[in-house]
C-alpha cells in the first residue's frame, strides 16, 4: 500500500505521497515536477533502441495519483515534455487522451528548460502555462529552485536524491523531497529520469522515496 506523510509547509498542511507528488488538501492541489514525457521516443527517433513504455506508464501513474487524491488542480513544476524530437504524434495523442480523462481538473505548467525545447503546447492541451515565481496562495511556483519574494518556493529541475549511510559501510542513494527554509525541491515524477545527489545541511528536512514508501530522514 503506497504510503503518505503529513507535514507543514509555511503554515499549510500538505501530504507527501510515495508516488513522488505533493498534495495540498485546502485547495485540492496536486504538485509534481519533471515529468519528461517523450524522453524514450526522443531516443528512438535518434536511432537508439529503447522500449517505448516509460512515457505511457508515467501518464498512467499520474492519472492514478490524481484519482486517488480527487484533486481539482494539478501543478507541474516544469519539464512536462522532454524534447520536440520525442513529441511524436503517437505520444502526443496519448497525452491529449490523458488530458481529456481529467477534463474537470485545471492543469498549470511552469515552463521549464525542457519545455522550451519541446515547443508550445496546443490549445487542445488545455494547460495554463505560467512563468517562474507564479504566485499560488502562500506558494511561489518555479522550475528552478530559488528564493522567491512572493511566497514559499516549490521547484523541480534538480531531480534531487540523497545518500544515506549505515553501519557495515552501507550506502544508499534515493530520490527525495528536499525542504529548505524558504523553498522545497520535488523529486522527478517521470520514469526514465536520472537523479542529482544533494547534500542537505542542518535545518533542512528530507524525505526519501523507496519501495512505495515515503520516509523522513531529516
Partner 1 sequence: MGTLAEWLSENPERSGSLAKRQDAPPLRVLWITPLRALAADTELSLRLPLEGLGVPWTVETRTGDTSQSLRKKQGDQLPTVLITTPESLMLLLMRENAEELFSGLRCIVVDEWHELLSTKRGVQTELALARVRQLSPLVRTWGVSATLGNLDQAKESLLGAGNKGAVVRGYAGKETLIDTVLPKNISRFPWSGHFGTTMIPAVIEAIEDVGTCLIFTNTRSQTEIWHEQIVSSRPDWADQVALHHGSLDRETRDQVEADIKSGKLRAVVCTSSLDLGVDFSPVDRVLQVGSPKGIARLLQRAGRSGHRPGVASRVTCVPSHAFELVDIAAARQAASEGKIETRQSLSKPLDVLSQHLVSIAVGTGFRAEDLLREVRTTLAYRDLTDEEWHWVLDFVVRGGEALRAYPEYSRVVLGDDGVYRVTDKDIAQRHRLTVGTIMSDSAMTVQMVNGGRLGTVEESFLSRLSPGDRFLFAGKLVEFVRIRDMTAWVRKATKRSAIVPRWAGGRVPLTTELSHAIRTELEHAKYGELRSPEMETLAPILELQSKWSSIPAQDELLVEQVETSEGHHLFIYPFEGRLVHEGLAALFAYRISMNQSITISIACNDYGLELLSPEPIDLHSALQRGLLSSQSLAEDIIASLNAAEMAKRQFREIARIAGLVFEGSPWMKKSTKQVQATSGLFFDVFARYDPENMLMRQAQREVLERQLEQSRLGSALVRLRGSKLLVTNPPKPTPMAFPILVDRLRGTVTSENLTDRIQKMSLRLEKDADL
**φ, ψ of residue 97 in degrees (nearest 5):** -65, -40
Residue 211 binds partner 1, judged by CB under 8 A: yes
CB of 202 to partner 1, least distance (A): 7
Looking only at the bridges linking them, the beta strands covering 139-141 and 170-179 are unpaired
Question: In this chain, which stretch among 20-28, 127-135, 148-156, 166-174 interacts with partner 1, using CB under 8 A?
Answer: 166-174
- Give the DSSP per-residue string, 53-115: THHHHHHHHHHHHHHHHT-SEEEE-S-SB--GGG--HHHHHHHHHHHHHTTTSEEEEE--HHH
CB of 58 to partner 1, least distance (A): 12
Among 73, 99, 102, 117, binds partner 1 (CB under 8 A): 117
CB of 89 to partner 1, least distance (A): 10
Count Cβ atoms within 10 A of the Cβ of residue 21 and give its class: 0-12 exposed, 13-18 middle, 19 or more buried.
Answer: buried
Question: In this chain, which stretch among 40-48, 64-72, 94-102, 123-131 interacts with partner 1, using CB under 8 A?
Answer: 40-48
Residue 11 binds partner 1, judged by CB under 8 A: no
CB of 178 to partner 1, least distance (A): 11
Residue 103 binds partner 1, judged by CB under 8 A: no
Buried b (16+ CB within 10 A) or exposed e, 118-151: beebeeebebebeebbbebeebbbbbbbeebeeb
d(CA 107, CA 157): 19
Please state at what angle helix 89-101 crosses helix 54-69, rounded to 10 degrees: 10
CB of 31 to partner 1, least distance (A): 23
Residues in 45-84 at the binding interface with partner 1, rule: CB under 8 A: 45-54, 82-83
Residue 199 binds partner 1, judged by CB under 8 A: yes
Interface positions with partner 1 (CB under 8 A): 39-40, 42-54, 82-83, 85-86, 88, 117, 162-172, 174, 191-194, 199-202, 206, 208, 210-211, 213, 215, 217-218
Amino acid at each position: 500500500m503506497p504510503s503518505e506523510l503529513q507535514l507543514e509547509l509555511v503554515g499549510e498542511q500538505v501530504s507527501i505521497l510515495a508516488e513522488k507528488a505533493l498534495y495540498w488538501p485546502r485547495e485540492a492541489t496536486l504538485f509534481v515536477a519533471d515529468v519528461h514525457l517523450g524522453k524514450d521516443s526522443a531516443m528512438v527517433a535518434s536511432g537508439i533502441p529503447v522500449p517505448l513504455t516509460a512515457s505511457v506508464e508515467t501518464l498512467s501513474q499520474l492519472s492514478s495519483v490524481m484519482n486517488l487524491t480527487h484533486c481539482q488542480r494539478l501543478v507541474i513544476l516544469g519539464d512536462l515534455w522532454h524534447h520536440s524530437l520525442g513529441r511524436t504524434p503517437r505520444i502526443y495523442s496519448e497525452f491529449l487522451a490523458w488530458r481529456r480523462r481529467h477534463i474537470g481538473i485545471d492543469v498549470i505548467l511552469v515552463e521549464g528548460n525542457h519545455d522550451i525545447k519541446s515547443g508550445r503546447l496546443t490549445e487542445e492541451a488545455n494547460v495554463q502555462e505560467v512563468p517562474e515565481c507564479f504566485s499560488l496562495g502562500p506558494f511561489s511556483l518555479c522550475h528552478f529552485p530559488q528564493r522567491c519574494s512572493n511566497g514559499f518556493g516549490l521547484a523541480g529541475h534538480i531531480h534531487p536524491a540523497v545518500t544515506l549511510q549505515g553501519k557495515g559501510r552501507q550506502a544508499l542513494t534515493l530520490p527525495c523531497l528536499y525542504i529548505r527554509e524558504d523553498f522545497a525541491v520535488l523529486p522527478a515524477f517521470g520514469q526514465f529520469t536520472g537523479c542529482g545527489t544533494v547534500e542537505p545541511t542542518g535545518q533542512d528536512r528530507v524525505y526519501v522515496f523507496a519501495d512505495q514508501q515515503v520516509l523522513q530522514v531529516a
